[in-house]
Amino acid sequence: MPKIATVKQMRALEAAADSHGVSYARMMELAGAAVFETVRARVEALSGARVVILAGLGNNGGDGLVAGRLLAEAF
């Protein structure tokens, strides 16, 4: 079962990763790519499908935009 981090814990984890050389932009790309891979693995036919990405103002908005970009490029 995946662990769920609080906002405070996630900020600390991201700051630690950043201080070890993993930029926030890279983390955003990795998170968006993981969403893309999950969708691709679970949806058989995306060709011609319409996908809606809901991206808010929070830190996950960029992740959603990356996932949307990858989906648009793949299908």
What ranges do the domains of the chain cover? 23-74
pLDDT for 47: 67
Residue 16: band (very low, low, confident or very high) from pLDDT cuts 50, 70, 90: very high
More confident residue, 30 or 57: 30
Residue 71 contacts residue 46 (beta carbons within 8 Å): yes
Hey, CA dihedral for 47, 75, 31, 44, is it positive or negative? positive
Tell me, what amino acid is at 68? G
Contacts of 40-45 spanning 24+ positions with Cβ under 8 A: 40/71, 40/74
**Alpha-carbon distance 11 to 14, whole Å?**
5
Average pLDDT over residues 27-36: 94
Place of tokens 């984890």: 13
